[in-house]
């Protein structure tokens, strides 16, 4: 029998967008129901994305650091990988954070429900749980149903050797050889994890460079490192077929300008982008507009084409990042609760958590050139940073793009350890409308990597003393 339930605000999806929206709306006095089809709260980011991947990347980085130490007089024996222990460690971090979210929902009296939600109309959804079905009658709704891995045509169906990021993070085994299809963020992050744990990793990328959204110069040090860690990096190449063999290996045909190569791998990881989870929601029953790619259309208040229904996070489009989802979630919760709020960030940072990390925010040189946006830049090579030398990170670099007229920061790109932390200063500078002097004249502590941000501004201003730049 279908039960019925009335609620002020229902949130579909408990990822970083959904739970932030639910909690903010509850803090603003709404009676909130948070629904997820998964047993655990936290969405992709916590359960099969950001957190487990970064837990494994940390291990990969430490393994690599021990190799460097052995070159400078401190030797360790070859690491012994106890895969069960590594998997348990990663799972423990996830489950601790799962309980944290559950606890935060409880103290706020946000009700949670497990089940698959689909729209019946613009104020009703059906939630199908394992043993029961509930009809929810709502005043307002926030859709935060996220995204899932895209696949390429012609892959063997449900084959245990064909991995997505979700199954790759399950860490069932360390395959002797792994082909990563797609050299974007997931490809390089998980490729580096598996390479550090002992797989011979190859990457095939359709475009001429890895992480095509970032400026080439800040990807270069990572690409150089991956060249040493991976068996091969095949650029401007595409997979034309993947066939399963009786021994569970996969034979893959890869095409590039020279012709077609056939290779066999123990496993293949498909990381060619993500698609919105719009399909299962039956949004057409609520007359919610979606675009050609299936993303839900929203305005800057996160409102869909139905005034009482909002949408946030991956399901509304790029960038598909947890922090973007969270900000949008808060905006939706505030607007839905009658408060003034708008999603209008000047910059959303992107970080690739490999070793070295690659981070950028605001304007990139790629975009500036494509859209003919005038800019000037200040760059500081980490070879001149004491802290970078200490950390074996002299390949790193910090660059800032400035508006040639106002000298305000338009964008920044950083490569090196902790680039993801360092980029926060750039994001703040862009939000605050800071110019080159604001940054160059801010006293930064020494010796830190943070200094390189001020140094890039000083290079631009011509006041840098740690480098010799002859005056023009």
Decide which of ligand NAI, ligand FAD, none touches 266; Cβ closer than 5 to 8 Å per partner kind.
none
Site track for ligand NAI across 305-334, x = CB under 6 A: --------------xxx-------------
Number of residues forming the site for ligand NAI (CB under 6 A): 26
Q: Whole-angstrom Cα distance, residue 304 to residue 290?
A: 9
Which residue numbers are catalytic? 446
* Binder of residue 421, out of ligand FAD, ligand NAI, none (CB less than 5 to 8 A by kind): none
Q: b/e per residue, 327-346, with b = 16+ CB within 10 A? A: bbbbbbbbbbbeeebebebe
Summarize as ranges the residues that interact with ligand FAD (CB under 6 A). Answer: 12-18, 35-38, 43-45, 49-50, 53-54, 116-117, 144-147, 165, 186, 277, 280-281, 313-315, 320-323, 325, 353
Whether the CB-CB separation of 112 and 14 falls below 8 Å is answered with yes
Half-sphere exposure of 302 (CA within 13 A, CB side): 35
Q: Which residues pair with 133 in a beta bridge?
A: 2, 128
x/- map, 150-189, ligand NAI, by CB under 6 A: --x----------------------------xxxxxxx-x
How many residues are listed for the chain in this entry? Answer: 472
Which run of H or E residues covers position 137? strand 133-143
CA dihedral 10, 15, 21, 22 (to 10 degrees): 50
User: Is the dihedral angle over the CA atoms 164, 169, 172, 176 positive or is it negative?
Assistant: positive
Residue 462 Cβ vs ligand FAD, minimum distance, rounded to whole Å: 36
Which of ligand NAI, ligand FAD, none does residue 277 bind to, with CB < 5 to 8 Å depending on kind? ligand FAD
Residues 376-395 close enough to bind ligand NAI by CB under 6 A = none
Choose the contact partner of 207 out of ligand NAI, ligand FAD, none; CB within 5 to 8 A by kind: ligand NAI
Quick one: 281 or 401, whose CB is closer to ligand FAD? 281
Q: Which does 281 bind (CB under 5 to 8 A by kind): ligand FAD, ligand NAI, none?
A: ligand FAD
Nearest alpha carbon to residue 128 among 138, 137, 118: 118
* In contact, 104 and 97? CB cutoff 8 Å: no
Phi, psi of 200 (to 5 degrees): -85, 105
Task: Give the H or E element holding residue 141.
Answer: strand 133-143
Q: Side-chain half-sphere of 25: how many Cα atoms within 13 Å?
A: 32
Q: Which of 50, 56, 292, 300 is nearest to 185 (CA)?
A: 50
Q: Which is nearer to ligand FAD, 155 or 457 (CB)?
A: 155
User: In the bound complex, what is the minimum distance in angstroms from residue 84's beta carbon to ligand FAD?
Assistant: 21
Residue 288 contacts which entry, ligand NAI, ligand FAD, none (Cβ below 5-8 A, type-dependent): none
Min dist CB 80 to ligand FAD, Å, is 26
From 33, 239, 296, 358, residue interacting with ligand NAI (rule: CB under 6 A):
239
- Minimum Å gap between C-beta 185 and ligand FAD is 7
Closer residue to ligand FAD in complex, CB, 16/182:
16
Contact 416, 357 (CB under 8 A): yes
Nearest distance, CB of residue 241 and ligand NAI, angstroms: 12
Q: Is 345 in the site for ligand NAI (CB under 6 A)?
A: no
Contacting residues toward ligand NAI, per CB under 6 A:
152, 181-187, 189, 204-207, 212, 238-239, 271-274, 319-321, 351-353
């Amino acid at each position: 029998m279908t039960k019925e339930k009335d609620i002020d605000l229902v949130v579909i999806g408990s990822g970083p967008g959904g739970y932030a929206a639910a909690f903010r709306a509850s803090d603003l006095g709404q009676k909130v129901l948070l629904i997820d089809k998964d047993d655990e709260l936290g969405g992709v980011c916590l359960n099969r994305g950001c957190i487990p991947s970064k837990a494994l990347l940390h291990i990969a980085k430490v393994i690599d650091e021990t190799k460097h130490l052995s070159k400078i007089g401190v030797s360790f024996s070859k690491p012994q990988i106890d895969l069960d222990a590594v998997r348990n460690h990663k799972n423990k971090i996830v489950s601790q954070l799962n309980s944290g979210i559950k606890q935060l929902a409880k103290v706020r009296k946000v009700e949670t429900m497990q089940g698959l939600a689909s729209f019946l109309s613009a104020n009703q959804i059906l939630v199908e749980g394992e043993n029961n079905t509930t009809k929810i009658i709502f005043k307002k709704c926030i859709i935060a149903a996220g995204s899932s891995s895209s696949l390429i045509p012609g892959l063997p169906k449900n084959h245990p050797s064909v991995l997505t990021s979700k199954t790759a993070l399950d860490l069932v085994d360390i395959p002797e050889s792994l082909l990563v299809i797609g050299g974007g963020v997931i490809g390089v992050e998980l490729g580096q994890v598996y390479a550090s744990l002992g797989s011979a990793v190859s990457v095939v990328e359709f475009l001429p460079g890895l992480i095509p959204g970032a400026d080439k110069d800040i990807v270069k040090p990572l690409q150089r490192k991956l060249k040493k860690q991976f068996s091969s990096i095949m650029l401007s190449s595409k997979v034309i077929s993947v066939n399963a063999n009786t021994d569970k290996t996969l034979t893959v045909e890869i095409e590039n300008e020279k012709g077609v190569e056939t290779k066999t791998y123990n496993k293949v990881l498909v990381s060619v982008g993500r698609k919105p989870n719009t399909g299962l929601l039956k949004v057409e029953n609520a007359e919610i507009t979606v675009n050609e790619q299936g993303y839900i259309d929203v305005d800057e208040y996160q409102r869909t084409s139905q005034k009482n229904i909002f949408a946030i996070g991956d399901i509304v489009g790029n960038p598909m990042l947890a922090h973007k989802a969270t900000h949008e979630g808060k905006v939706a919760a505030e607007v839905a609760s009658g408060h003034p709020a708008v999603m209008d960030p000047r910059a959303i940072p992107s970080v690739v958590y490999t070793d070295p990390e690659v981070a950028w925010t605001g304007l990139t040189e790629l975009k500036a050139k494509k859209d003919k946006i005038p800019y000037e830049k200040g760059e500081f090579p980490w070879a001149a940073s004491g802290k970078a030398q200490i950390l074996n990170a002299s390949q790193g670099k910090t660059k800032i793009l400035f508006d040639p007229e106002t000298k305000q920061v338009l964008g920044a790109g950083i490569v090196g350890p902790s680039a993801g932390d360092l980029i926060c200063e750039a994001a703040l500078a862009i939000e605050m409308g800071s110019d080159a002097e604001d940054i160059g004249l801010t006293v930064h502590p020494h010796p830190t990597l943070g200094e390189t941000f001020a140094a890039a501004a000083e290079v631009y201003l011509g006041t840098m003393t740690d480098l010799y730049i002859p005056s023009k």
